[in-house]
Amino acid sequence: MTKSKAENARTSRELEDLKKKMVVLEKAKEELVSDRTKLKSEIVEIKRLFSEQKHAALAKEYEDEVAESTTAMRVVMGSAKSPKDLRNAMHATTAFTHQRSRNVNRINRAGVIAGTRGRPELRARLEEAQTRLTDALEQLIEDCQQRGLIAPRHHPRALASFLQANTLGIVLTEFDSKNDEAALGHRLEVIEHVIDFLFFDGLIDD
């Protein structure tokens, strides 16, 4: 039995309606995909901004430590009148920086350094701060060498690196279960002997 013209017309209208609905659904789907893509982009941007702020805070913390260290050494080396004065001041400074209570600062600093992995922006900021500290210490040591307060045997930048490695590297003792006051005393004795040899060998006779 053949369809009537009315039935054919109704079928055509239904097909057209279905096509329109398909277009609407397809458009809605595209908008949904677009919204999801936009949302993902916004999430990525928020994470990026958060990461930048976190990196900036970590870098600032590191830079503050650098500034404190530079100021302390400038006072110590700038006020010394003789090799013995400087040696005594450096011994006192070593005893202060090696206090167990300051291990928190060292752990934080080590954590910031470790956090540079895969973060070139943070690494660049820390490199700038660290280079600035080493430059300052190198200049101070070189000035003291020229004033006859420090032995000229070793390059001032190498000595500057030693001082920093000595101060930061002692963080390892925080994870030594036998790290007591007696152990601290033994370490200070060793470090003082090393400092005396590297910085003052031939300048002090006692």
pLDDT of residue 71: 82
For the chain, give the percent of residues with pLDDT over 70. Answer: 87
The conformational region for residue 161 under phi > 0 = left, psi -120 to 50 = alpha, else beta, is alpha
Answer whether residue 1 shows pLDDT above 50: no
DSSP 8-73: HHHHHHHHHHHHHHHHHHHHHHHHHHHHHHHHHHHHHHHHHHHHHHHHHHHHHHHHHHHHHHHHHH
**Mean pLDDT (the chain, rounded):** 83
User: What integer is the mean pLDDT of 9-24?
Assistant: 72
pLDDT in tens, 115-174: 888 888 888 888 888 898 899 899 999 999 999 999 999 999 999 999 988 888 888 888
CA dist., res. 70 & res. 133, Å (int): 6
Higher pLDDT, 187 or 48: 187
| pLDDT tens figures, 43-65 | 776 666 666 667 677 777 777 77
Predicted pLDDT of residue 3: 52
Tokens of residue 114, six digits:
């470790």
Which has more confidence, 16 or 126?
Answer: 126
pLDDT at residue number 117: 86
Q: By three-state DSSP, how is residue 120 classified? A: helix
pLDDT band at 187 (very low <50, low <70, confident <90, very high): very high
Q: Is the pTM of this model over 0.75?
A: no
Query: Is residue 203 pLDDT above 70, yes or no?
Result: yes
User: How many of the other CB atoms lie within 10 Å of CB of 76?
Assistant: 18
Q: Quote the pLDDT of residue 122.
A: 82
Amino acid 126: pLDDT: 85
* Tens-digit pLDDT profile for residues 25-37: 777 777 777 777 7
